[in-house]
Amino acid sequence: MEKVSLVEAVDIDKAIRESIELIGGLQLAPDKTVVIKPNVCNSKNPEGMVLTDFRVIKAIVDMVQENGNDVLIVESDNISGTAEMRVEKSGLMGLLDDWGVDFLNLSHDNYQEYEVAETVLRLPRTVLEAEYFINIPKIKTCAHTLVTLGIKNLYGVFQRKKKSTLHKHLDTILPFLAETIRNDLIIVDGINCMEGNGPVIGNPVCLNLVLAGRNVVSVDAVCSWLMGYDPVSIPHIALSAERGIGPVDSDSIQVVGDELTKYARDFEPPYSLKATLKSFKAIKNIYLS
């Protein structure tokens, strides 16, 4: 049975530590380098709903450094700009300097090629050969996959600036990434979340939660339940489960910590009339400010 923790984030640092302890701790030898992939898909973060909360990243970095490990934060180029530009303009790069943490643009890394969905994916060797990989997604809806969680966060790893050209193959590529990239720990930022026309111009939802687990499929299943969706009906999650990467049924997942039903709500799906009407403020904040 896969264990997924859910903790209210009254104190974010404390909540992160508790969420990890509830699933058995870091389980990390101090001689290993830790690669961390947050969601920094844009340089702007209106109402804190687009990017992984920097306080969540800081709490995880602190825990890993206290354990004696070196840390590397990674992202790749996308249609919103180079990884360095997004990390710099978002304010994260300055924080990484203060924390003594290095950053790597995966688009400049050595890579291994894989033939997937009638195309060639270049997966960075830093991720493929990571000794310990931490995935830090954010709870958001997504126009192309309904939700963007742990599995979808891996889409920001491979080397291709115009990743949108592969959106028609997402249900093949995402399960491949979930199977190929190790996930030693998944910590989900469920503090200021997003519903509606995500993953960039949606509308804010404050759950004030953090979640943790070791199996990316099960973590995504729990987050989907929180959002009012059935993971079995979300193709990339269901197909990942079919490949044996992890379970999505409640009988195979133990939720520990706070009660899921206390925080669950129905997230407005992408492209609904309500979501579209409410998204004008986000459009202004992302594209016109």
Higher pLDDT, residue 151 or 161: 151
Summarize pLDDT for 254-273 with one digit per residue, the tens. Answer: 999 999 999 999 999 998 88
**Six token digits for residue 243:** 């490949």
Please report the pLDDT score of residue 237 as a whole number.
98
**Six token digits for residue 238:** 């269901």
Lowest mean pLDDT among 7-11, 51-55, 162-166: 162-166
Q: Please provide the average confidence, as pLDDT, over all residues in the chain.
A: 96
Please report the pLDDT score of residue 282 as a whole number.
76
Residue 30 pLDDT exceeds 90: yes
Name which of 256, 247, 174 is nearest 211 in CA terms.
256
DSSP type of residue 49: -
Q: What is the dihedral of CA 286, 53, 26, 13, to 10 degrees?
A: 180
Specify the pTM. Answer: 0.96
Summarize pLDDT for 232-252 with one digit per residue, the tens. Answer: 999 999 999 999 999 999 999
Please report the pLDDT score of residue 209 as a whole number.
98
Residue 109 pLDDT exceeds 80: yes
In angstroms, rounded to a whole number, what is the distance separating the alpha carbons of residues 158 and 163?
9
**Six token digits for residue 225:** 């339940």
Number of CB atoms found within 10 A of residue 160's CB: 18
Residue 156 pLDDT exceeds 90: yes
